[in-house]
């Protein structure tokens, strides 16, 4: 396949502002039901944006969100986007037992499939929390019927990442395709370029320069990920959060929507399943 004409994968991790790992020491899951959710409205706005720009996207969605917003789940599939799993309750795999991980992933797949009426084939671990300590998660994913995962980030980072893991889509020995978050090589180190945080921080021209460098360096599809709360400048501020978390979470929220429109216009996008369909099928042979 000609890599230049190949689409890139547009992905959204569907969770609310109070689910993010950076705030998990401040807001506990027992508080979630008493907070007014914003994820439904924000994700509906995102679907509008994608539809207006002829972009199909993959929505890695929490089971928690499916319970709170079943109409959103239906809309994602009815309008031709891909529904995938982000687990049930945004717990990092590094903080759960094997049995808890199985239950968290299975429950999310079950509720997403019940509401959508479609098989859920893709998975993204919360905070890319698959690492050397829990590679058995890939076996769990195969057992549960997933055909691909996008759960690893080969960078050095304080919260996640395994720097020496593969940078590109690879068949795991367990028989599942793993599609890592994209990186560029700079001074011998992998630099992450896949996500919303740096995209919000940097001016668009710089993000575009980095994406161009990735595309010409690697000849691989580019995968972008972000969250519905990143287009929501009006979200309540979590005052007690650590300064670093606040900087990461709140920088340039107001500018995200405009940058997304540039990103959608400058590249060709599709769902993760469609972009990697050939590799996924080769994996399951």
Backbone angles phi, psi at 44, to 5 degrees: -60, -40
Window 247-276: residues binding Zn ion (CB under 5 A): none
Window 94-133: residues binding Zn ion (CB under 5 A): 126
Nearer to Zn ion, 6 or 61 (CB): 61
Rounded to a whole number of angstroms, the minimum distance from the CB of residue 54 to Zn ion is 26
Nearer to Zn ion, 61 or 116 (CB): 61
Strand partners, 177: 148, 171
Tokens of 243: 């300064």
Angle at 92 between CA 90 and CA 95, to 5 degrees: 130
Rounded to a whole number of angstroms, the minimum distance from the CB of residue 2 to Zn ion is 33
- # binding residues, Zn ion (CB under 5 A): 3
Rounded to a whole number of angstroms, the minimum distance from the CB of residue 19 to Zn ion is 7
Query: Ramachandran region of residue 21, left (φ > 0), alpha (ψ -120 to 50) or beta?
Result: alpha
Q: With residue 224 as reference, give the H or E element that holds it.
A: strand 223-226
Cβ 214 vs Cβ 223: under 8 Å: no
Residue nearest to Zn ion (CB): 13
Question: Which of the ranges 5-13, 104-112, 169-177, 190-198 carries the binding residues for Zn ion, by CB under 5 A?
Answer: 5-13
Rounded to a whole number of angstroms, the minimum distance from the CB of residue 13 to Zn ion is 4
What is the dihedral sign for C-alpha 19, 25, 28, 32? negative
SS3 217: helix
Nearer to Zn ion, 50 or 153 (CB): 153
Residue 14 and residue 126: Cα distance in Å, rounded? 11
Exactly one of 6, 12, 13, 199 binds Zn ion (CB under 5 A); that residue is 13
Nearer to Zn ion, 125 or 140 (CB): 125
Question: Which of the ranges 10-18, 138-146, 159-167, 168-176 carries the binding residues for Zn ion, by CB under 5 A?
Answer: 10-18
Binding-site ranges for Zn ion (CB under 5 A): 13, 15, 126
């Amino acid at each position: 396949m000609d890599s230049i004409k190949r689409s890139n994968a547009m992905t959204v991790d569907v969770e609310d502002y109070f689910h993010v790992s950076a705030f998990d020491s401040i807001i506990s899951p027992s508080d979630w039901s008493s907070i007014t959710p914003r994820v439904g409205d924000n994700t509906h706005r995102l679907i509008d944006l994608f539809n207006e720009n002829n972009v199909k996207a993959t929505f890695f969605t929490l089971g928690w969100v499916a319970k709170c917003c079943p109409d959103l789940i239906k809309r994602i599939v009815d309008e031709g986007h891909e529904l995938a799993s982000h687990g049930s309750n945004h717990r990092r795999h590094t903080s759960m037992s094997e049995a808890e991980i199985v239950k968290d992933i299975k429950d999310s797949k079950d509720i997403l499939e019940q509401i959508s009426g479609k098989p859920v084939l893709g998975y993204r671990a919360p905070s890319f929390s698959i690492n050397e300590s829990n590679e058995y998660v890939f076996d769990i994913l195969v057992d549960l019927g997933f055909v691909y995962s996008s759960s690893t980030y080969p960078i050095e980072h304080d919260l996640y990442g395994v720097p020496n893991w593969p940078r590109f889509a690879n068949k795991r020995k367990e028989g599942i395709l793993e599609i890592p978050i994209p990186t560029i090589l700079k001074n011998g180190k992998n630099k992450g370029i896949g996500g919303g945080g740096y995209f919000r921080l940097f001016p668009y021209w710089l993000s575009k320069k980095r994406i161009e460098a990735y595309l010409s360096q690697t000849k691989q599809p580019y995968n972008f990920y972000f969250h519905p709360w990143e287009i929501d400048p009006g979200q309540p501020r979590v005052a007690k959060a650590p300064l670093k978390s606040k900087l990461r979470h709140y920088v340039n929220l107001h500018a995200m929507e405009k940058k997304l429109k540039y990103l959608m216009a400058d590249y060709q996008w599709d769902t993760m399943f469609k972009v990697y369909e050939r590799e996924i099928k080769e994996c399951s042979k």
